[in-house]
Structures are given as structure tokens and as C-alpha cells.
């Protein structure tokens, strides 16, 4: 048997004894080492997302060791460290072949539509297991999934060196945007957040200019970009008002990277003629999968991302309930990790 944190109803985890899953054909059993808590996990906890899936074991930003492999699996040695791509597509359809797994008609997501990784073990499709080097701590690998989301966003919005970028929101993901922008040579990097603590972390992560007063943001961007506005503005909060603000902050011919998830019915009005005449664009991205996961892991393995700001809060599985309940009171803890094994 294994221990698993089951979200039995919104707001209430129960630590339950569950049978250790048996890896089926083409599956791998992962012994979970740690799993990060993401904003979507909090939405699920609060009953605002994936409520139909409960009771469920959430958790999808995870890493661990290969404990066993099912029939048909080769090349994944037992005992090796690994990260896992949480997005399960059919692997054959038009969208899966384009690495647009979330559009696959058969798409499932570990920890969202099915049991995830706040448990000692999880069985996963072998093709989604990415081996990771054994001499690097698990704490580094557990950032692979959120970093993969950021890698995908940067790829979709063609981020490159010398570009001025505004990041709206210095949450955990906003701070990963900042670090990837820094690694990509984007300059200057301007970050805005209402929280002094979050801006302090963003400055530590490589931001050039941090703005906490919304009234000063536009002028700060104008001053930092030769009066033009930013080449790229990344919305990483999920607030329709901030999407409108993003359009005001970008230069003619600039890109809005639509990343923060709003409520389902929200809309953004674009002046058609102006955006054509200026050649503005909106680049959307969702999640991180396939090549995004591989690239994120490569960046982490080669030390391109400072993980210290993301590793300040670790809780054992038994304390998952207080870990979730206190997240909003711990803004300095950019990330909360549930640790299951060393």
C-alpha cells in the first residue's frame, strides 16, 4: 500500500492508504520524490476548477525515480531519476503530432482529470517519462513543468536577445519568465506586481526595472524603451484589466504574450485597423509539453535557472492540508513543494 493525499471535497485533503498502482503495458511506476503546488492546484483545492474530478489525488509538477516498468517498456532503467510530462494525448491525432496535446480530443491531464502525484507512487505512460541526471537534486527537476510552460510561451512569442519585455505579475511563473528572458538576452526586463516581496524576488531573478505602483508603470516602460513601448508584454496574472493594460504598454508592431488564465467568459477588444496597420500580434500559449519539457529540463540541468527562490517552502505529505491553507499568507514562498522521498 502507499500513502496518498486525496482531495475528497473542495478544501479538504485526506491522507489515505491506496494500493500501489501496477504499471500496465507501456507504463512506468514512478516513486514520487516531490511535487510542486501550482496555481491550478489551488484552484482545484478551492473548488473553482476540475470539481468534477473529485475525489482525486492532485499534483502534476513532479519528479521521482523509476520504481518499476510494465510489459513492453525498454530503455528506462529502474532506480533512475525522471520527470514526467503530465499531458496525455492519444499520440496519433493531428494535434498530438503537432505537439498541441491540449487540443487532442482524448486529452487527459495527471492531477486534473485523473489521479496525480501527491502520492508515494504514480503509474504513467512510458513515452511521457524523461530521464534526468542522478547527480542533481530533485528540487531542481520539480521546476521542469512550470518552466516548460514558460519555454513554450517564449517560443510562441519569438523572444530573442535585445528585446524589451514587460512581465505583468511576479508570481512563481512570472519569475520563471524573468529568468528565461534573462537567459535569452532580452533587455530591458521590466516587471510589475503589487507586492513588494514579489518584486524583490523578481529583481533578484534578473529583472532590470521593478514597478509596484500601477500609476507609474506606463511611464517606466516609455522611459526604458526609448519612448516606443515594449517589444513584448507578457500577461502572467490572468486579469482582463491587465490584458488591456498590456496592449497600452507594447510598441507598434509589438507582441502581447497571452499567458495568464482569466475566467472562461472574459474577452479582450482589439481595434482591428490599428492592430493591422501597426502589425501588432497576440501570441497565446498553454501548458508545456513534449519539446517544451525537454528544453526546460535541459535549462535546469545546465544551471540556467536559479532555483533558490523556489525552494524555501517544503512540506511532508502529512502536512499537505496546512501547506495549501497557508499559501496565500506566504508570498515570500514563491513555490510550495510537497516532499515525499529524498
**Residue nearest to ligand NAD as judged by C-beta position:** 171
Grid cell, residue 215, equals 500609476
- Interface with ligand NAD by CB under 6 A: which range of 88-96, 163-171, 178-186, 292-300? 163-171
The partner in contact with residue 149, picked from Zn ion, ligand NAD, none with C-beta cut-offs of 5 to 8 angstroms by kind, is ligand NAD
Q: How many CB atoms lie within 10 A of CB 9?
A: 12
Q: Do residues 165 and 232 lie in contact, with contact meaning Cβ atoms separated by under 8 Å?
A: yes
- Does 174 contact ligand NAD by CB under 6 A? yes
- Does 194 contact ligand NAD by CB under 6 A? yes
C-alpha span between 118 and 35 (Å, rounded): 7
CB of 315 to ligand NAD, least distance (A): 17
- Interface with ligand NAD by CB under 6 A: which range of 60-68, 114-122, 157-165, 236-244? 236-244
CB of 290 to ligand NAD, least distance (A): 14
Q: Which of 31, 198, 251, 255 binds ligand NAD (CB under 6 A)?
A: 198
Report how many residues bind ligand NAD under the rule CB under 6 A: 25
Interface positions, 29-68, toward ligand NAD (CB under 6 A): 39
C-alpha span between 250 and 253 (Å, rounded): 8
- Does 93 contact Zn ion by CB under 5 A? yes
Q: How many CB atoms lie within 10 A of CB 18?
A: 15
Grid cell, residue 13, equals 485533503
Interface positions, 116-155, toward ligand NAD (CB under 6 A): 149
Q: Which of 36, 89, 139, 254 binds Zn ion (CB under 5 A)?
A: 89
Rg (CA), the chain: 20
Q: Which of 90, 194, 276, 318 binds Zn ion (CB under 5 A)?
A: 90
Q: How many CB atoms lie within 10 A of CB 61?
A: 29
C-alpha span between 251 and 231 (Å, rounded): 6
Q: Residue 333's closest CA among 149, 171, 165?
A: 171
Interface positions, 90-119, toward ligand NAD (CB under 6 A): none
C-alpha span between 232 and 229 (Å, rounded): 9
Interface positions, 124-183, toward Zn ion (CB under 5 A): none
Q: Phi and psi for 212 in degrees, rounded to 5?
A: -105, -20
Coil, helix or strand at residue 319: helix
**Residue nearest to Zn ion as judged by C-beta position:** 104
Using CB atoms within 10 Å of the CB of residue 107, give its burial: 0 to 12 exposed, 13 to 18 middle, 19+ buried.
middle
- Interface with ligand NAD by CB under 6 A: which range of 1-9, 84-92, 115-123, 254-262? 254-262
Residue ranges binding ligand NAD (CB under 6 A): 39, 149, 168-174, 192-195, 198, 236-239, 242, 259-261, 285-287
Residue ranges binding Zn ion (CB under 5 A): 89-90, 93, 96, 104
Amino acid at each position: 500500500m502507499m500513502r496518498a493525499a486525496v482531495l475528497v471535497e473542495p478544501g479538504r485533503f485526506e491522507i489515505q492508504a491506496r494500493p500501489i498502482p501496477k504499471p500496465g503495458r507501456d507504463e512506468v511506476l514512478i516513486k514520487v520524490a516531490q511535487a510542486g503546488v501550482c496555481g491550478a492546484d489551488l484552484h482545484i483545492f478551492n473548488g473553482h476548477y476540475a470539481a468534477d474530478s473529485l475525489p482525486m489525488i492532485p499534483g502534476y509538477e513532479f519528479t521521482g525515480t523509476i520504481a518499476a516498468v510494465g510489459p513492453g517498456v525498454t530503455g528506462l532503467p529502474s532506480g533512475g531519476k525522471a520527470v514526467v510530462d503530465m499531458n496525455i494525448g492519444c499520440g496519433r491525432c493531428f494535434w498530438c503530432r503537432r505537439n498541441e496535446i491540449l487540443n487532442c480530443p482524448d486529452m487527459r491531464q495527471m492531477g486534473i482529470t485523473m489521479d496525480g502525484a501527491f502520492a508515494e507512487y504514480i503509474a504513467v505512460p512510458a513515452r511521457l517519462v524523461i530521464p534526468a541526471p542522478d547527480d542533481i537534486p530533485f528540487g531542481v527537476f520539480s521546476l521542469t513543468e512550470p518552466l516548460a510552460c514558460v519555454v513554450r510561451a517564449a517560443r510562441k512569442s519569438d523572444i530573442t536577445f535585445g528585446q524589451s519585455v514587460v512581465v505583468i505579475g511576479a508570481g512563481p511563473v512570472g519569475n520563471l519568465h524573468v529568468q528565461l528572458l534573462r537567459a535569452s538576452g532580452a533587455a530591458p526586463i521590466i516587471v510589475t506586481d503589487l507586492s513588494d516581496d514579489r518584486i524583490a524576488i523578481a529583481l533578484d531573478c534578473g529583472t532590470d526595472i521593478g514597478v509596484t505602483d500601477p500609476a507609474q508603470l506606463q511611464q517606466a516602460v516609455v522611459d526604458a524603451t526609448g519612448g516606443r513601448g515594449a517589444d513584448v508584454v507578457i500577461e502572467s496574472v490572468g486579469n482582463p484589466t491587465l490584458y488591456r493594460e498590456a496592449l497600452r504598454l507594447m510598441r507598434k508592431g509589438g507582441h502581447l504574450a497571452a499567458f495568464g488564465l482569466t475566467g472562461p467568459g472574459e474577452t479582450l477588444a482589439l481595434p482591428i485597423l490599428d492592430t493591422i496597420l501597426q502589425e501588432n500580434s497576440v501570441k497565446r500559449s498553454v501548458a508545456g509539453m513534449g519539446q517544451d519539457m525537454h528544453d526546460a529540463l535541459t535549462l535546469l540541468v545546465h544551471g540556467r535557472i536559479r532555483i533558490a527562490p523556489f525552494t524555501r517552502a517544503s512540506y511532508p505529505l502529512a502536512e499537505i492540508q496546512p501547506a495549501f491553507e497557508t499559501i496565500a499568507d506566504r508570498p515570500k514562498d514563491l513555490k510550495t513543494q510537497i516532499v515525499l522521498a529524498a
